[in-house]
Amino acid sequence: MYTQCPECLSVFSLDAQTLAKAHGHVVCGHCEASFDSVATLTEQLPPEPFIEMTVNEPAFEPPRLDLVVYRPRPEPPAVAQDGVVVATMAPATEDFSQLVFAPRFAREPRAKQPRRSHKREPRRRRRSSGERRWPWLVACLLLMLLLVVQLAWAERDPLIRNPTVGGWLRSSCAVLGCEVPLVAAPQQLQLLASNVQAHPSVAGALMISASVRNDALFAQPYPILTITLSDAQGQRIAMRRLQPREYLDDSTILQQGLAPGASAVLLLELEDPGDKAVAFEFNFE
């Protein structure tokens, strides 16, 4: 809200708290003149430039207030009895806390009440908590079993390599007539002997023989052979990676794999890289 000093025409901003302190009577901070701030009180300033603000004309009829928020209770009038002034007591408020409310059917005469039938309706058998719970238990057990089967299938290779679990699976499959899939464990293959010589019937070729033993407790597929030929300085000259079908022609032997504790002699034919190859190395994958 804004108001204007009538002496120096200075315009001031004020709030309701400042306005209510002296009922609108304020002192100008510029010329020290005392004036009624309500005379020119306004919410919005007129457009600039201006000299004097509009004076608020008093209302012809004062506004009527209808919303009552509080009214003090009147004191009881005093009555004189035998020359003594006695204050009359205000009528006590009615106390409804001890009232007892009777339902409607209790107030009606018994003759009007309907007679109850002597035949009792058969009570419905309530299901016990166990009867309501067992379908959920069965469903949870089936879901847990399915989860265990999925995890076992995802981790089947480590389980078959495990001596305890793998042995139990192989014995169970022997009874049920199933077969445990072959799982490769190249770190449990032992190279017993190896030899490289010129091919006896093919010119410019080498024949490599290797004796391999399976030290695992389970049958595993024939490994992937990696042969590396090096020169005298240890530099790699040639390398060949052979799949099992490249050095074994019998599909039955490939399907059965290398039995636990069994040995096999592998014969390989490679092209001769020349006189520079003086060393070779076997690796299993």
What was the pLDDT predicted at 86?
A: 58
What was the pLDDT predicted at 31?
A: 92
Q: How many CB atoms lie within 10 A of CB 162?
A: 15
What was the pLDDT predicted at 199?
A: 81
| pLDDT beneath 70: ranges in the chain | 59-61, 65-70, 76-131, 163
DSSP 225-267: EEEEEE-TTS-EEEEEEE-HHHH---HHHHHH-B-TT-EEEEE
Domains of the chain: 1-58 (no CATH), 135-181 (no CATH), 186-284 (2.60.40)
What was the pLDDT predicted at 129?
A: 61
Provide the pairing of β-strand 236-242 with 205-214. Answer: unpaired
pLDDT digits (tens, 9 = 90+) for 179-190: 777 888 888 888
What was the pLDDT predicted at 69?
A: 67
Specify whether the CB–CB gap between 268 and 242 falls below 8 A: yes
Contacts (Cβ under 8 Å, ≥6 apart) of 202:
269
Tokens of 154: 């995802």
Place of tokens 């309501």: 132
What was the pLDDT predicted at 28?
A: 92
* Sign for the pseudo-dihedral over CA of 197, 199, 204, 205: negative
Instruction: Please list, residue by residue across 74-93, b when 16 or more beta carbons sit within 10 angstroms of its beta carbon and e when fewer do.
Output: eeeeeeeeeeeeeeeeeeee
pTM of full prediction above 0.75: no
What was the pLDDT predicted at 97?
A: 62
What was the pLDDT predicted at 91?
A: 54
> What letter does residue 26 receive in the DSSP assignment?
E
